[in-house]
Amino acid sequence: MLLDDPSAEFHDFFERHYAELGRLSSLLTGEADAADDLAADALVALWQRWDRLREAEHPLAYARGVVANLARERIRSATRERRRVALFWSRGAQPAPGPDVAAVVDVRAALDRLPFRKRACVVLRHAFDLSEKDTARALGISVGTVKSQTAKGLAELERVLGVQAARDMATERGSR
């Protein structure tokens, strides 16, 4: 293939970034099974626009944004489905059991509790070691929003996990 062949360029992009995009979708959705599907869907969307994206300054940031949007939609869809099922099967108000604090020791479970934007900022900043600017670009938000959402997300993780566990998570930047 020629060096400037769009198919070859996309194939190279795919090979370099598919695993990372899968890991990002897994961390954002909390569903390891859906990770490959979301990464593949994002890459299909990129391929459809590759003629424009290949000239872009940051195609990976765009890809991360596509994954984040697909993950957000998957979460919203699952939430709507759970509400429909709960409404259909509910037989009146039943008290919900309180949270099992002892079971909330896993960072993954704590991340799942964060609202999407906070989770996305924490994951991109600390699990993927992106700068605030790159995180803002990937999510389509301002750097200031990244700073505040990351700080608030880490504060919530500290409340759930305890101060030391949250600090350990923040210092393990990109070690996975």
Secondary structure of the chain as H, E, C letters: CCCCCHHHHHHHHHHHHHHHHHHHHHHHHCCHHHHHHHHHHHHHHHHHCHHHHCCCCCHHHHHHHHHHHHHHHHHHHHHHHHHHHHHHHCCCCCCCCCCCHHHCCCHHHHHHHCCHHHHHHHHHHHHCCCCHHHHHHHHCCCHHHHHHHHHHHHHHHHHHHCHHHHHHHHHCCCCC
Fold match flag (1-94 vs 97-176)? no
CATH topology of domain 1-94: Rna Polymerase Sigma Factor; Chain: A (1.10.1740)
CATH number for domain 97-176, candidates 1.10.3720.10, 1.20.990.10, 1.10.10.10, 1.20.1630.10: 1.10.10.10
Most confident region among 35-39, 92-96, 108-112 by mean pLDDT: 35-39
In this model, does residue 151 exceed pLDDT 90?
Answer: yes
Percent of the chain at pLDDT above 70? Answer: 78
- The domain locations on the chain are 1-94, 97-176
* pLDDT confidence of residue 93: 54
pLDDT single digits (tens) 68-94:
999 998 888 888 887 777 666 665 555
Confidence at 116, pLDDT banded by 50, 70, 90:
very high
Mean pLDDT value of segment 123-130: 90
- Give pLDDT, residue 2: 47
